[in-house]
Amino acid sequence: MRAEQGIVVAGPPGIDSALERLSASGQIGFPVEPLVIEVGGGHQAGSGAHGGAEPDLPHPAPADPIPRHEGVRVLWRRGSAPRGWIHRALAALPDLAWMHSDFVGMDTVPLDELAARHVVVTNGVGNYSRPMAEWVVLAMLAGAKRLAHFVRQSDAGVWDPTPQLDELEGSTALFLGLGSVGALAAPMAAALGVQVVGVARAPRPEPPPGVTRMVAADRWRTELPGADFVICALPLTKETAGMIDAAALSAMKPSAWLINVARGGLVDEEALVKALDAGEIGGAVLDAFVKEPLPPGHPLWGRPNVLVVPHYTWASPRIMARKDSLFAEQLRAWVEGRPLANQVDLAAGY
């Protein structure tokens, strides 16, 4: 692809300053022109606004006309643009050929429309893997050492050195999903003596580093009775929605901990509350919920064996630079005609 006259890259507010930084740092070595697609109405090229935490937007309304920008083939779904923004962007770009998303999850993206338009989609695999993998290990330690219990005691000024504490060495962790997060967390856990059982959709010739053995995707439930930790690190799709249901929870050890760093929709929260009340599992560390923020008064709040994280295990001061550098590399590959990394299977949803 010729880049002498510049590549137009569409995106949310803030994309102009991001592209300017990437060009100034030499990560993009050809002319790039930003096209800012506003969050709520109209389009503006070169805006310096930053996409904030606006509420989700619906599909574009007739009263809010969206200008069409023919010939623009690249869309960068950068930062925290709300869900409805993507519909505005797709409506504005009739010639779109490639969309890159900073995020990994595709459950809020209209994949059917993108597939029908033959748009190549890439995602941000690797952008958040390190901090999330560290959180997985932290969550395992928090469960073994009953951290949530002691935090509640500390807040209440209670001295009670009676809870039974465990060690990670010799325990078993069932990783539901061995994508970039699971693949990075597995060797970290293994270094602490954890036996890691991995579940992945695609068969692998041999277990990845840190994984003791692999299990076929349709056999994961048979592994629940032997697991001390069940880690959800897989995408939310039609097939995985609600997979951690009452049957799965009742099959777990009474001492086992559920760790979810993926999507809230993977877990039947009503069943989880009942399992916690009945003592069917030891506890949970949860970073994602069906409704976010988790509503005040929700029965998952305030439990001595539940740690609620506000969908924040991804956070790190290195994230923004990592996301921007990944897009710059992808854009160079696009311009040079090289294969793009992290291509999404639009039929599978990830």
Asked whether the CA dihedral 331, 334, 338, 339 is positive or negative, the reply is positive
Name the burial class of residue 49, with classes exposed (0-12), middle (13-18) and buried (19+) by CB atoms within 10 angstroms of its CB.
middle
Q: Which of 50, 292, 318, 336 is catalytic?
A: 292
Terminal Cα-to-Cα distance of the chain (whole angstroms): 27
Question: What are the backbone angles phi and psi of residue 88, rounded to the nearest 5°?
Answer: -65, -45
Sign, CA dihedral 341-121-243-136, equals positive
Q: Return the bridge partners of 174, or none.
A: 197, 230
Catalytic residue among 77, 263, 269, 280: 263
Residue 338 is a catalytic residue = no
Helices (H), the chain: 15-24, 85-92, 111-116, 129-144, 147-156, 180-190, 246-251, 269-278, 319-336
Q: Is 292 a catalytic residue?
A: yes
CA distance linking residue 60 with residue 85, whole number of Å: 9
Task: Give the helix, strand, coil percentages of the chain, each rounded to 5.
Answer: 30, 15, 55
Question: Taking a C-beta distance cutoff of 8 angstroms, is the pair 285, 259 a contact?
Answer: yes
d(CA 29, CA 319): 22
* Cross-strand pairs, 34: 9
- The residue count of the chain comes to 350
Active site residue 219: no
Please count the other Cβ atoms lying within 10 Å of the Cβ belonging to residue 280: 18
**Nearest-angstrom CA–CA distance, 293 and 218:** 32
Adjacency order of strands within the sheet including 74-77: 43-44, 32-37, 7-11, 74-77, 98-101, 120-122
> Which of the residues are catalytic?
263, 292, 311
